[in-house]
């Protein structure tokens, strides 16, 4: 990601913008700056401090503080939106004639690029929630931005892959294209295993031979996101548990687990697509702002809308499921109604309604965990999922961090006492097994530093990964001084400076407490 931002995108867009300015091609400049805004946000949200003000001016640029990077991004997005409204920029006679080959997102449509820029502004402002600034003014700002996006020339920005030659295939697809050896690696989805938290706790799958209305899980999206495998005995796939936190057991085989490359998943086919930001993400952004503004009913309704949008992305026939379930309540049906009922009721409508009753039963029972867990599902395979979890500091009863007295990533009994599998006789303990747990070995063997880990490793809120290491291949060669200044090195007993993994535990600016009332019960880490 580091090199992709600074080299692939940054160096090329810088050159493109220089040439475009010489030729008066202002539309190309706007697109280039919008892409760099998005990439800058993704990079700082992964690494924290990063070169910005001195980038490309030397091989050893200073690292700007993340606060400064955010100040620049807020200023940049405001300026870009003004320029998108300026016809001397968008309609200049010298502008570049941009076709589909040059712009695979919007083919040069400046109205759509403006809407996308506005969507990035919504994502940018969301970073203020919940720790930075969740005042009504900020929450309403976010709500208004999202509403303005949908009122504009909005079209979801997707990078579509036609399939065929290697690089024309979606990187999440089964052909696993590699662009080049140093910046890209083939996906390993078909060799990966979903967590207990995701598959059992959130999606509501079950082990063994049980079936839920002939479906794979409570959440109808499960069988689209991944493809159920059968084991040698033809039984339903099982799921690994992370209590040992070391991956698969020595006796496990990959065929005992679901395949995360599924032909039903729009992201994991060779002709799939990667969205830069989705419509449901924008709705979830609005819902979160409504929640912190105190509009729980509005947050619930928007969350329901966002969840349905995400289901439709996977081809789930939400409208007919809802219609069929309403028909089930009638004493008699017309011929046409009976055809709908017969087609959809048992084959989907029952499962869909059970999902809504358990996961989103109404505003009176709705809380922050319902909102963020549905967003977690909707952000599957998208990087914003990790950002959300870090904004809420991996909140769970395990690390003792709550927001508004709610543990965000604790799960509820997804089957209302049925199909609880391990806890069939003790359903109250469902969340102990299926809620979010921290793997032990994220930095080093957990027994290596007993002061931070030891027997209480999984209970430590200090132990979660909060950022990535800056690219050591380039930075240790050319910019080691900046790495040292920003906490990437420590001095060992021999007096040698060595890379320090503890930087990975340092919270990003939007995960720290800023001015204003504290929103979190955080027992071990003082707000900064």
| Residue 74, domain CATH | 1.25.40.390
Residue 263 forms part of a structural domain: no
Residue 102 forms part of a structural domain: yes
Q: Is the pTM of this model over 0.85?
A: yes
What's the confidence (pLDDT) of residue 454?
Answer: 39
Between CA 297 and CA 274 the distance in angstroms is: 32
What's the confidence (pLDDT) of residue 437?
Answer: 77
Angle, helices 368-378 vs 384-391, to 10°: value is 160
Query: Exposed, middle or buried by CB within 10 Å (0-12, 13-18, 19+), for 517?
Result: exposed
Between CA 168 and CA 235 the distance in angstroms is: 37
Residue 88 forms part of a structural domain: yes
Residue 172 forms part of a structural domain: no
List, for residues 487-506, the tens digit of each pLDDT value.
Answer: 999 888 899 888 887 788 88
Domain boundary among 155, 180, 195: 155
Domain boundary among 111, 131, 155: 155
Mean pLDDT of the chain: 85
What's the confidence (pLDDT) of residue 192?
Answer: 83
What's the confidence (pLDDT) of residue 473?
Answer: 78
* Residues 240/248, Cβ–Cβ less than 8 Å: yes
* Residues 170/274, Cβ–Cβ less than 8 Å: yes
Residue 139 forms part of a structural domain: yes
Helices (H) and strands (E) in the chain, counts: 19, 8
Q: Which residue has the tokens 């199909």?
A: 419
Q: Indicate left, alpha or beta for 356 from its phi (over 0: left) and psi (-120 to 50: alpha).
A: alpha
Residue 460 forms part of a structural domain: yes
Total domains, the chain: 2
What's the confidence (pLDDT) of residue 528?
Answer: 27
Between CA 408 and CA 301 the distance in angstroms is: 19
Residue (of 56, 51, 50) closest to 14 by Cα position? 56
**Contacts of residue 259, Cβ cutoff 8 Å, sequence gap at least 6:** 189, 190, 226, 227, 228, 229
Domain boundary among 155, 175, 195: 155
Q: Which residue has the tokens 């929450």?
A: 139
Between CA 432 and CA 423 the distance in angstroms is: 10
**Contacts of residue 98, Cβ cutoff 8 Å, sequence gap at least 6:** 27, 28, 31, 107, 108
Between CA 446 and CA 244 the distance in angstroms is: 11
pLDDT in tens, the chain (528 residues): 898 899 889 999 999 999 999 999 999 999 999 999 999 999 999 999 999 999 999 889 999 999 999 999 999 999 999 999 999 999 999 999 999 999 999 999 999 999 999 999 999 999 999 999 999 999 999 999 999 999 999 999 999 999 988 889 999 999 998 766 655 678 889 888 888 788 888 998 765 444 444 567 889 999 899 887 766 666 655 554 444 445 566 666 777 678 899 999 999 999 999 999 999 999 999 999 999 999 999 999 999 999 999 999 999 999 999 999 999 999 999 999 999 999 998 778 888 998 999 899 999 999 999 999 999 999 999 999 999 999 998 998 877 788 988 999 998 877 766 655 554 445 566 677 778 877 655 545 433 444 444 344 444 545 678 899 888 778 988 899 999 999 999 888 899 888 887 788 888 999 987 755 444 555 434 332
Structural domain range at position 73: 2-155
What's the confidence (pLDDT) of residue 474?
Answer: 84
Long-range contacts of 454-461 (CB under 8 A, 24+ apart): 458/245, 458/398, 459/398, 459/399, 460/399, 460/524, 461/393, 461/394, 461/399, 461/400, 461/401, 461/522, 461/523, 461/524, 461/525
Buried b (16+ CB within 10 A) or exposed e, 308-343: bbbbebbebbbebbbbbbebeeeeeeeeeeeebbee
Q: Is 212 helix (H, G, I), strand (E, B) or coil?
A: strand
Residue 240 forms part of a structural domain: no
Residue 323 forms part of a structural domain: no
């Amino acid at each position: 990601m580091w090199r992709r931002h600074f080299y692939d995108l940054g160096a090329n867009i810088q050159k493109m913008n220089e040439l475009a300015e010489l030729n008066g091609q202002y539309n190309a400049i706007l697109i280039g700056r919008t892409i760099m805004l998005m990439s800058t946000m993704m990079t700082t949200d992964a690494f924290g401090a990063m070169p910005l003000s001195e980038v490309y001016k030397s091989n050893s640029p200073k690292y700007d503080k993340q606060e400064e990077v955010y100040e620049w991004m807020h200023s940049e997005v405001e300026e870009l939106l003004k320029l998108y409204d300026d016809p001397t920029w968008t309609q200049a006679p010298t502008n570049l004639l941009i076709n589909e080959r040059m712009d695979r997102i919007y083919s040069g449509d400046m109205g759509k690029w403006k809407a996308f820029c506005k969507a990035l502004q919504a994502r940018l402002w969301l970073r203020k929630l919940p720790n930075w600034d969740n005042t009504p003014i900020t929450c309403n700002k976010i709500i208004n931005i999202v509403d303005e996006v949908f009122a504009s020339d909005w079209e979801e920005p997707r990078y579509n892959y036609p399939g065929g030659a290697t690089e024309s295939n979606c990187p999440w697809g089964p052909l696993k294209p590699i662009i080049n050896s140093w910046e890209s690696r083939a996906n390993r989805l078909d060799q990966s295993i979903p967590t207990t938290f995701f598959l059992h706790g959130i999606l509501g799958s079950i082990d063994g031979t049980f079936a839920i209305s002939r479906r794979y899980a409570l959440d109808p999206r499960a069988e689209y996101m991944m493809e159920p495998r059968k084991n040698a005995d033809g039984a339903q796939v099982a799921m690994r548990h992370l209590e040992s936190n070391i991956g698969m057991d020595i006796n496990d085989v990959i065929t005992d687990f679901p395949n995360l490359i599924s032909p039903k998943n729009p992201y994991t086919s060779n002709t799939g697509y990667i969205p830069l930001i989705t419509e449901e993400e924008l709705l979830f952004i609005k819902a979160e702002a409504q929640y912190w503004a105190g509009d729980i009913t509005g947050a619930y309704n928007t969350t329901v809308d966002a969840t349905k949008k995400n289901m439709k992305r996977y081809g789930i026939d939400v409208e007919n499921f809802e219609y069929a379930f309403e028909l089930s309540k009638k004493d008699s049906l017309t011929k046409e109604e009976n055809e709908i009922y017969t087609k959809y009721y048992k084959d989907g409508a029952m499962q869909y309604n059970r999902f809504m009753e358990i996961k989103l039963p109404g505003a009176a029972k709705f809380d922050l965990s319902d909102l963020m867990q549905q967003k977690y599902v909707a952000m599957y395979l998208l990087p914003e999922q990790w950002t959300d979890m870090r904004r809420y500091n991996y909140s769970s009863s395990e690390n003792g961090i709550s927001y508004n007295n709610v543990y965000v990533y604790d799960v509820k009994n997804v089957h209302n006492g049925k199909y609880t599998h391990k806890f069939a006789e003790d359903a109250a303990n469902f969340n102990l097994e299926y809620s979010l747990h921290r793997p032990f070995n994220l930095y080093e063997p957990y027994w290596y530093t007993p002061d931070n880990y030891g027997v209480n490793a999984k209970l430590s809120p200090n132990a979660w990964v909060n950022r990535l290491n800056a690219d050591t291949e380039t930075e240790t060669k050319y910019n080691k001084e900046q790495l040292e200044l920003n906490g990437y090195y420590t001095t060992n007993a021999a007096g040698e400076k060595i890379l320090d993994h503890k930087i990975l535990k340092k919270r990003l600016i939007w995960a720290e407490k800023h001015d204003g009332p504290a929103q979190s019960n955080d027992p071990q880490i003082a707000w900064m």
